[in-house]
């Protein structure tokens, strides 16, 4: 039925007249048509009106940053962290997390999983603005010393499937809120999709999977900054962010922080 309505609108003899009134008018009209055919719904509860309704925003499982581990970001890990002690770091190839600190805004519960999935796999790009807002709001004041923001690039295959780099969009929105430059610091990952892998396998999969970009222009730009916040959507085991931090130290001992929207715990 949606297809039928769309084709009748697209075939309207008045379409060229609308488009003739200018790109802004055509875009507004396109938005109106899309909104009529596929009304915006909340990613979590499905109620119409916005991509994330006020009720679901209030109900997000925010991590109390005063109780989280300042080193790895694990919720409730301030005094004694079960995620980044010597025992739990075994098998990761790291003695400790390779960054100054890590912060995640919310727990990866059902609501966060829906937000991430709709943003990542269903093309709801507007959710990146909310995710970025919560990331930026969760960062400790001392992170204001960071000089730029970067991200974990999508694989070429994923970027082709989505038509854009979802991680770059999230990082760009976060950088905008923090008033920091976004740098394309890392090259495309050389690892397989690890959604099905366990903790040890993820670290093995991601070991050396990331490296600095080969673009001379981006490298020159990165060289201007002595500290970086790496933004990603989900902290699962940390394998991806560890690999990113390691790569970002390949040419300099710059300071690295990591920030994600959600944290698996």
Q: Which residues bind Zn ion (CB under 5 A)?
A: 42, 44-45, 53, 56, 69, 71-72, 74, 77, 81, 83-84
Q: How far is the CB of 112 from Zn ion (least distance, A)?
A: 13
Q: How far is the CB of 27 from Zn ion (least distance, A)?
A: 27
Measured from the CB atom, the residue of 99 and 151 that comes closer to Zn ion is: 99
Q: How far is the CB of 216 from Zn ion (least distance, A)?
A: 37
Collect all residues with Cβ–Cβ distance below 8 Å to 247 and sequence separation of at least 6.
186, 210, 211, 212
Q: How far is the CB of 81 from Zn ion (least distance, A)?
A: 3
Name the β-bridge partners of 186: 212
Q: What is the DSSP letter of 196?
A: T
Q: How far is the CB of 21 from Zn ion (least distance, A)?
A: 35
CB 180 within 8 A of CB 146: yes
Measured from the CB atom, the residue of 77 and 167 that comes closer to Zn ion is: 77
Measured from the CB atom, the residue of 51 and 170 that comes closer to Zn ion is: 51
Mapping DSSP onto H, E and C, the string for 199-227 reads: HHHHHHHHCCCCCECCCHHHHHHHCCCCE
Q: Give the Cα separation of 174 and 128 in Å (integer).
A: 9
Which string of DSSP letters, residue by residue, matches 82-138?
SSSSHHHHTTTT-SS-SSSEEEEEEE--HHHHHHHHHHHTS--TTHHHHHHHHHHHH
How many C-beta atoms lie closer than 10 Å to residue 260's C-beta?
28
Measured from the CB atom, the residue of 140 and 181 that comes closer to Zn ion is: 140
Measured from the CB atom, the residue of 80 and 179 that comes closer to Zn ion is: 80
Measured from the CB atom, the residue of 84 and 210 that comes closer to Zn ion is: 84
Residues in the chain: 265
Q: How far is the CB of 56 from Zn ion (least distance, A)?
A: 3
């Amino acid at each position: 039925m949606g297809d039928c309505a769309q084709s009748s609108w697209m075939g309207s003899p008045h379409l060229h007249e609308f488009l003739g009134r200018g790109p802004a008018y055509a875009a507004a009209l396109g938005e109106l048509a899309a909104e009529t055919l596929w009304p915006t719904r909340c990613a979590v509860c499905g109620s119409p009106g916005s991509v994330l309704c006020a009720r679901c925003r209030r109900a997000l499982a925010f991590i109390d940053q005063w109780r989280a581990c300042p080193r790895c970001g694990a919720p409730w890990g301030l005094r004694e962290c079960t995620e980044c002690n010597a025992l739990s770091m075994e098998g990761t190839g790291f003695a400790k997390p390779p960054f100054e600190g890590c912060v995640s805004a919310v727990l990866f519960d059902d609501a966060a999983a829906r937000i991430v999935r709709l943003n990542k796999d269903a093309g709801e790009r507007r959710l990146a603005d909310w995710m970025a807002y919560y990331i930026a709001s969760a960062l400790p004041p001392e992170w204001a010393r960071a000089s730029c923001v970067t991200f974990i690039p999508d694989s070429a295959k994923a970027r082709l499937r989505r038509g854009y780099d979802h991680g770059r969009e999230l990082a760009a929105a976060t950088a905008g809120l923090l008033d920091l430059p976004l740098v394309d610091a890392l090259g495309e990952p050389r690892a397989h999709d690890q959604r099905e892998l366990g903790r040890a396998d993820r670290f093995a999969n991601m070991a050396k999977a990331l490296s600095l970009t080969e673009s001379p222009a981006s490298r020159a730009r990165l060289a201007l900054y002595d500290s970086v916040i790496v933004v990603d959507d989900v902290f699962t085991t940390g394998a991806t962010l560890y690999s990113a931090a390691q790569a970002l130290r390949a040419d300099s001992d710059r300071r690295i922080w990591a920030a994600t929207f959600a944290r698996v715990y």
